[in-house]
Amino acid sequence: MSDFTSDFWSWWIIAITVGGIAWCIWILWKNSTGKIPAGEQAETMEHVWDEDLQELNTPLPRWWIIKFYLTIAFGVAYLVLYPGLGKFAGLLDWTAEKQYESEIAAADKQYGPLYDKFLKEDIAVLAGNEEAMNTGERLYVNYCSVCHGSDARGATGFPNLRDHDWNYGGTPELIKASIMNGRQGIMPAWEGPLDGEAGVDEVANYVMQLAGREVDETKAEKGKEKFATHCVACHMPDGTGNPALGAPNLTNNLWLYGGSPRAIKESIAKGRSGQMPAHGEFLGEAKVHILAAYIYSLTHEYD
């Protein structure tokens, strides 16, 4: 139910709603009471359609009037029982949140045991369980595919889950921790500390050299000095990254935000900010456990 900034708006909505219902009742009453005196002919209202179809001043048919009154009665009953009149919650005290929680509780009661039976099994072992992986695949499609893709190969800014490259580590426990608690990755903007575009270009050349690409050797040499000053704290002296910080490996030519020179320069100059939302509270540990096993299975072979 919406929160109003003041009681005025609540009463404003109540007044409009109740006034509209009262107006409808008045209109129906006025159109149902008029009768043509005996011996007199109905008069035209001077509204003509299709050359000879005229509107007369006769009252609406009784059955039609009754249906309209029933519709109004249904609307009044709804507004008494359910929210719709400003802050009035309705006699049933119904809310979408309560209904959602009730449906989730019913689903957990029915399906919870199906997930719980896998919870105590080791993730690496569970990844070879066909029944569990069928369940894990459905969980993945519902909760993960919108970011990581239906084939789990990711997209720009969203990691590929099939390439053995894990910013925070690819062990079963770390994969589960990433899903349970989420991750917040921040790459600071370095254009200022690197003295502008020229410094960014030099570091970009060195970073691409680490990945085994052909670069301007002079720029890469200057970039190496800047890298040693500004970048090694996260990416390590050899550029292999630090899973404890989520700092990616720069030597494998895999790029989360694109590996073109332009994209690499943009990452260095402007920085990057990525967030993996926590799913533990939402899904529960049992579902996360199965989901972690499914993701682990994507990079491991099982018979």
Domain boundaries, the chain: 7-81, 106-182+277-297, 186-276
In this prediction, residue 56 carries a pLDDT of 74
In this prediction, residue 37 carries a pLDDT of 63
Per-residue pLDDT tens for 29-45?
887 776 666 556 767 77
In this prediction, residue 38 carries a pLDDT of 57
- Counting as low any pLDDT under 70, the low residues of the chain are 1-4, 34-40, 42, 302-303
Rounded Cα gap, residues 187 and 185, in angstroms:
7
Q: Do domains 106-182+277-297 and 186-276 have the same CATH topology?
A: yes
Instruction: Give the largest CA-CA distance in the chain.
Output: 110
CATH value of 106-182+277-297 in 3.40.190.10, 1.10.760.10, 1.10.287.130, 3.40.710.10: 1.10.760.10
**pTM score of the predicted model:** 0.71
What topology is assigned to 186-276 in CATH?
A: Cytochrome Bc1 Complex; Chain D, domain 2 (1.10.760)
In this prediction, residue 1 carries a pLDDT of 47
